[in-house]
Amino acid sequence: MVRIAAPTPEPSGKDRRGLGASSASAFNKLYWTRISLGVFAAFAAEGVFRIVGGDYTNGLLVGVLVYFASYYLARYTWFRNVEPEKVSKVYSTGIGGYVMLFLFVWILLFTLGV
């Protein structure tokens, strides 16, 4: 007969290490917010590029400004009381996905001529 071990209860309260359940869900919300803002920023960058014309720096500036806006939105709404050593995690959460999706959608829109 095979015996299956009972799952051990997860520590709660002050015994829990790491970010905690509420912080993890807040970081998850921040990640997906930045992913969706990457798509929005790509559409805005394409619109700015089509309206203003010129070079690509205006579109890149739109992408950078939207990312900084998401940082300040997150920092002063969801993460008001975050410890100083975790501020860099607020800044860097989702940056890779944001940049890659921003570039992908912007290049796609430029190629399609939308």
Q: Indicate the domain borders of the chain.
A: 21-112
For residues 39 and 113, the model is more confident at: 39
Report pLDDT digits (tens) over 67-104: 999 999 888 888 888 888 888 888 888 899 999 999 99
In this structure, are residues 19 and 83 in contact, taking their beta carbons and an 8 Å threshold? Answer: no
In this structure, are residues 79 and 26 in contact, taking their beta carbons and an 8 Å threshold? Answer: yes
Report pLDDT digits (tens) over 5-61: 666 555 554 444 444 456 778 889 989 999 999 999 999 999 998 888 878 888 999
Rounded to two decimals, what is the model's pTM?
0.74
pLDDT value, residue 37: 94
Q: Tell me the Ramachandran region of residue 50: left when phi exceeds 0, alpha when psi lies from -120 to 50, beta otherwise.
A: alpha
